[in-house]
């Protein structure tokens, strides 16, 4: 059985704390569904991300984008899901999902420290 994730969203964390048996059953159901078929972990995360996109669930898009990144899926691959959504779900739904995906993929990028170069003084001493 799966244990509680340490980074649960606030609502899920409250549910898990207040009703641990319900949360454990929910987690176990998710695990059983994941293991019931031939899809590998990486593919399952992409499918779950696509489902969250179609359902318009911001928190789930964030969660599954994070999980996909942890399995080595690139930001470009994650955003491709939003592009694939355009003909089926419409442009506005796809753009909305892409902004949610960017929330995660942009924050996962290593930030480059910008160092300003000092201009040498034109005056000689």
One domain, residues 79 and 22: no
Q: Over 80: is that where the pLDDT of 111 sits?
A: no
In a domain? residue 123: no
One domain, residues 100 and 59: yes
Q: From residue 80, give the alpha-carbon distance in Å to each of 30, 75, 84, 102.
A: 25, 9, 6, 12
Task: Tell me the C-alpha distance between 112 and 76, whole Å.
Answer: 19
In a domain? residue 116: no
pLDDT tens for each residue of 15-71: 999 999 999 999 999 999 999 999 999 999 999 999 999 999 999 999 999 999 999
pLDDT tens for each residue of 7-27: 788 889 999 999 999 999 999
Q: Which residue has the tokens 């930030």?
A: 111
Domain count along the chain: 2
One domain, residues 46 and 19: no
One domain, residues 29 and 46: no
pLDDT tens for each residue of 68-97: 999 999 999 999 999 999 999 999 999 999
Range of the domain at 51: 40-109
One domain, residues 47 and 102: yes
In a domain? residue 55: yes
Task: Tell me the C-alpha distance between 48 and 64, whole Å.
Answer: 6
Read off the pTM. 0.77
One domain, residues 56 and 105: yes
One domain, residues 79 and 98: yes
In a domain? residue 124: no
């Amino acid at each position: 059985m799966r244990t509680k994730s340490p980074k649960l969203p606030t609502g899920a964390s409250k549910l898990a704390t207040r009703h641990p048996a319900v949360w454990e059953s929910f987690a176990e159901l998710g695990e059983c569904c994941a293991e019931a078929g031939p899809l590998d972990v990486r593919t399952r995360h992409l499918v779950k991300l696509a489902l969250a996109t179609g359902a318009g669930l911001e928190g789930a898009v964030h969660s599954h984008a994070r999980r996909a990144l942890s399995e080595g899926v690139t930001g470009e691959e994650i955003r491709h899901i939003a592009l694939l959504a355009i003909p089926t779900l419409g442009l506005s739904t796809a753009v909305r999902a892409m902004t949610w995906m960017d929330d995660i993929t942009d924050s996962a990028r290593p930030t480059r420290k910008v160092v300003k170069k000092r201009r040498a003084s034109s005056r000689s001493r």
